[in-house]
Amino acid sequence: MKLKAKHQRLTLVVGALVALGGAGVLAFTALGDKATYFYAPSDLAAALPTDAIRLGGMVEEGSLVRAGETITFRVTDMRAQRAVTYTGILPDLFREGQGVIAEGTFDPASGVFRADTILAKHDENYMPPEVAGAMRKTASVQE
């Protein structure tokens, strides 16, 4: 049976797309976490990396200490945490309980992460301040 030219082209395009998709999946698997923008504290092995990396997670509640322009805090992903120190200007959204990405290196002696850049992450929740205030109140009543 000979296919109509139209159907031949359809098969060709669908086949090409399937092959392309397969190539994409293979490329992804090879890429792995190389395309990741930052590592979470629990992604890091016991032996700390010596190169510059980005460390990301939440600023642990109650861990932030300010001493002039220098701050120290702990980054947590709820499974592991790391102490971070930074001197400089912070983005407006930087605060306890919010996402943060720190670029820098680990101090091999103390294991403290020395950041030279701090970026604030924000989450996918959007609400007016009054709603957030009301929610915080309900949460503290429940505690």
The reply to whether 51 sits near another protein by the rule CB under 8 A is no
Among 3, 15, 17, 65, binds another protein (CB under 8 A): 17
When asked if residue 10 is in the footprint of another protein (CB under 8 A), the reply is yes
First to last CA, the chain: 74
Dihedral sign of CA atoms 28, 30, 31, 34 in order: positive
Min separation Cβ 88 and another protein, Å:
10
Strand partners, 56: 101
Q: How far apart are CA 132 and CA 143, in angstroms?
A: 17
Kindly state the smallest distance separating residue 64's Cβ from another protein, in Å. 16
> Of residues 2, 29, 33, 46, which one binds another protein by CB under 8 A?
33
Q: Does 71 bind another protein (CB under 8 A)?
A: no
58 touches 77 (CB < 8 A): yes
**Has 7 been labeled as part of a binding site?**
no
How many other CB atoms are found less than 10 A from the CB of residue 141? 7
**Interface ranges with another protein (CB under 8 A):** 6, 9-10, 13, 16-17, 20-21, 24, 28, 33, 35-40, 56, 90-94, 98-99, 101, 117-133
